[in-house]
Amino acid sequence: MQTAKISLRGLIDKWLGANLAAPARITRVRSSRACRSGCIRVDVARPSGQLSMFFFRHADGCWCVFPPALRVGWGA
């Protein structure tokens, strides 16, 4: 899948808004097969409740909201 090169900050701004009313809490996630290349969780307090989103780093260096495909036969 071809994705546009957007920085992680740009992707967070795209999905959560550049002017967050409350600061976002960013946590690096480890221990998941889908997160081997890199994965972060962003938590934001909203009036409707807590919102958490995951952002995944793909092999080409792009950050996306969907995990990279697992490579069968490569130790996955």
Domain housing 48: 8-64
Looking at the structure of the chain, the number of domains it has is 1
Residue 76: pLDDT band (50, 70, 90) is very low
3-state helix, strand, coil in the chain (%, to 5): 15, 30, 55
- Is 73 a domain residue? no
Question: pLDDT per residue over 1-42, tens digit each?
Answer: 555 677 888 888 888 877 766 778 888 887 656 566 688 999
pTM above 0.75?
A: no
Question: pLDDT per residue over 49-66, tens digit each?
Answer: 888 999 988 888 888 888
- Is 20 a domain residue? yes
